Amino acid sequence: MSVVVIGGGQAGGRAIEALRGNGYAAPITLIGAERHLPYERPPLSKEMLLDPSSTKIDWVRPDEWYAANSVDCRLGVSASRIDRAGKRVVLSDGGTLGYDDLILATGAAPRTLAIPGGDHPACLAIRTLEDAERLRPFLAPGRKIAVVGAGFIGLECAAAARSHGAEVVVLERAPRVLARGVTPRISSLYADLHRAKGVDLRVGVELVRIDGPANAPVLHLADGSTVAADVVVVGIGVIPQDGLARDAGLAVEGGIVVDAYGRSSDPSIWAAGDVTRHFNPLLGQHIRLESWQNAQNQAIAVAKNIAGLETVYAEVPWFWSDQYGINMQITGLTQDGAEDVVRGDLDGFSGLLFQMAGGRLIAAVGLNAVRDLRVAKQIIQLGGAVRAEELADPAVKLADVAKRLKG
Amino acid sequence: MADLIALCDTDAVSEDAALRVEHDGQDYAVYLYEGQYYVTADLCTHGPGYMSEGFIEGCEVECPFHQGKFNFITGAPTSPPCTEALKVWKVTVQSDKVWIDPSSGTVA
Ligand SMILES: Cc1cc2nc3c(=O)[nH]c(=O)nc-3n(C[C@H](O)[C@H](O)[C@H](O)COP(=O)(O)OP(=O)(O)OC[C@H]3O[C@@H](n4cnc5c(N)ncnc54)[C@H](O)[C@@H]3O)c2cc1C
Ligand code: FES
């Protein structure tokens, strides 16, 4: 028996931890393209930028752990091909490695700008420790940062940069910020927040070209205007790294297709994390997530299945973002035509926005409302009938609603 | 005889949520479970989450920050990313108050 894990990110690291934690004693090899052991990425656009002098890194496990648990870590090496018939992986250094079970945890990579100058040397995405390190020197008064894309990572970088007094311009093609993640009401709250903090936020604009010297990029917009900056943070989404799987003939549809156990169309090959399009039994559909919870817990489920403990991965999606000291959490999956219900003081960044459909709670966004949001997640999971009035009424404890649904 | 301090009134604690109490620079979380009171450190061993803002299910508390879990009776971590136990204190209930000896905290 042996397991090979391709991809040393959060999912790869958690899978290995859970294999050993659940009694898997056979050889484990980790193939990681980055030079680092697995670490968590959320701080890259938060703590690491808010405190540029901090040297703290959130390792999944400290390096002694891998030696103590006999995990063979091959870092700075990537897998270039999977030979399914021979059950081996071909590595970038020419070596090969046999497996009984293979875990693909290759994650996602930042999308690059498909415009002239999209590869300008001042452009940088935030995905790795090195990326965050590169942005740090620009977090100071007098520096000017252009952020392309008003998604979570872009806005977190903008918030951190403002906290250090840097000038920030955010350019977004969609008519609103966070368009992929939240409803229009939350988008407009966050747009107002960033403007109030001094961000020059422009939505509905089209970036067409970047030129200028390496340390003084000039961004050209479709309306003829230009933005001069010192550095360009590109946060326009990520692409699942499913090429290895596709080349090997596995089912791939914008992510490696896996079932609720994390198994791909080849029973010896599993996948976890950002790279998967997985079946979620609670939602009754295949979804692809880019979230910390999914990277951790899907990986744990895969590890348990390999260790012989049959485990279905069935969780209500959950995500968070920290901006200007405000904690936003999102749970569930919204759908068109859902009804908005507000609890608390949303405009004062202390409340929740629920989304209901068919008399049930399907999604919630909490602003500085961690406990209520967690109960909302439970209510979504329980899935029974709830009334808008009770969710909106601060005198009704959400825990009591959950208790009723549990019966 | 240990030096006991009163953290709170017994009826200030509910089953749904731990109560946060600050005393002498230490933040405590006080829990009620099946009629018994328990006390742990409020701050998560993994990061900035507070147990008093966490989610309770049975004798487990889930941190609101990354949803790691602890058994609040023993302090032991029960779900990743938490790996280090929370400090726990032995509780005495007297005169409708929850008491602990601050110097008696232990880590599993
Ligand atoms: C800046 C930032 C902030 C975030 N903030 C939040 C947040 O607040 N909340 C939240 O829920 N989520 C957040 N996320 C998302 C979360 O971090 C990701 O969902 C998670 O990291 C996914 O883990 P993964 O292991 O699937 O993929 P990754 O972390 O992308 O790891 C994949 C690894 O595989 C390696 N790899 C790829 N191909 C190969 C190959 N062929 N051979 C060997 N190695 C390979 C890559 O180099 C990489 O190291 C954030 C992400 C980023 C980048
Ligand atoms: S801070 Fe508590 S789980 Fe991370």
Instruction: Report the gap between the CA of A370 and the closest CA in chain B (Å).
Output: 6
Tell me if A13 sits within 8 A of A61, measured CB to CB: yes
pLDDT in tens, A76-122: 999 999 999 999 999 999 999 999 999 999 999 999 999 999 999 99
What is the average pLDDT across A37-47?
Answer: 96
Q: What is the structure's pLDDT at B16?
A: 87
Q: What is the structure's pLDDT at A83?
A: 98
Instruction: Report the gap between the CA of B1 and the closest CA in chain A (Å).
Output: 38
Which CATH fold would you assign to the domain A123-234? FAD/NAD(P)-binding domain (3.50.50)
- We find that the CATH architecture of domain B5-101 is 3-layer Sandwich (2.102)
How far apart, in whole angstroms, are the C-alpha atoms of residue A272 and residue A240?
Answer: 11
- We find that the CATH architecture of domain A325-406 is 2-Layer Sandwich (3.30)
Cα separation values, A181 from A18, A171, A280, A342, B70, Å: 30, 17, 19, 17, 30
How far apart, in whole angstroms, are the C-alpha atoms of residue B29 and residue B19?
Answer: 5
pLDDT in tens, A163-194: 999 999 999 999 999 999 899 999 999 999 99
What is the average pLDDT across A248-258?
Answer: 98
Give the length of chain A. Answer: 407
Q: What is the structure's pLDDT at A6?
A: 98
Which CATH fold would you assign to the domain A3-109+238-306? FAD/NAD(P)-binding domain (3.50.50)
Tell if the CB–CB gap between A374 and B17 is shorter than 8 Å: no
Residues of chain B in contact with residue A371, where contact means CB-CB under 8 angstroms, are 17, 53-55, 64
Tell if the CB–CB gap between A371 and B66 is shorter than 8 Å: no
Q: What is the structure's pLDDT at B2?
A: 65
The percent of residues in chain A predicted with pLDDT above 90, rounded, is: 98
Tell me if A34 sits within 8 A of A60, measured CB to CB: no
**C-beta atoms surrounding A381 within 10 Å:** 16
pLDDT in tens, A311-346: 999 999 999 999 999 999 999 998 888 999 999 999
Q: Is A6 an interface residue toward B (CB < 8 Å)?
A: no
State which amino acid sits at residue A268: S
Cα separation values, A143 from A119, A168, A173, A265, A281, Å: 21, 9, 24, 50, 48
How many interface pairs between A and B have CB atoms less than 8 angstroms apart? 29
Domain boundaries, chain B: 5-101
Strand A285-287: give its sheet, edge to edge: A256-258, A276-280, A285-287
Report residue A284: phi and psi, to 5°.
70, 25
Complex-level ipTM: 0.80
Tell me if A15 sits within 8 A of A71, measured CB to CB: no
Domain boundaries, chain A: 3-109+238-306, 123-234, 325-406
